[in-house]
Amino acid sequence: LGLWGAVHKRLWELRSQPDDLAEAVSGYERGFHLKQDWYNGINLAFLLDLRSLEYLMAGEQHEAIADAVQARRVRREVIRLATPLAERADDDPQKRFWVVATLWEAAIGLGDAAAQARWEAAANTLAVPQWMQDSRRDQGSKLTEVLANYATMLSGQ
């Protein structure tokens, strides 16, 4: 399910077809509800925010707000699931990094500056390849841009 979501997420990035975004959301949503894991959850939350922006651009404010609220709920659940894993110091640094990066992204999505700073510092201390840090920062930038655009459009409605 995660792979299905990832394929359609990438197709969305390449083609911007609404069906691709819907399939990506569906894949990660099913994966998250079945597995109750942080990986599917953080991807689902991002895609819900992305879809909320798409809804706003299409003039569907109620659907936009529903997806934005759901994204926040999923992030809170992701934090509950991932925090105990991130606090285990005995894990492989690369495995731990992705959990910490997930918590950092969740904090961005919830607008929690203190948690964002905490998880940013934790991510920066882990000895991982640079591409992993770059990937984390790139995803954070994408999320920040989506949220800023959403806020701008919502305030203009």
pLDDT in the model for residue 157: 61
Overall average pLDDT of the 50-59 stretch: 95
Overall average pLDDT of the 77-100 stretch: 89
Between CA 144 and CA 149 the distance in angstroms is 9
Overall average pLDDT of the 14-36 stretch: 92
pLDDT in the model for residue 87: 84
- pLDDT for residue 116 is more than 90: yes
- pLDDT for residue 108 is more than 70: yes
Number of H helices, E strands in the chain: 7, 0
CB-CB contact of 43 with 78 (8 Å): no
Query: Average per-residue pLDDT in the chain?
Result: 93
pTM score, whole prediction: 0.92
pLDDT in the model for residue 121: 97
Between CA 105 and CA 55 the distance in angstroms is 22
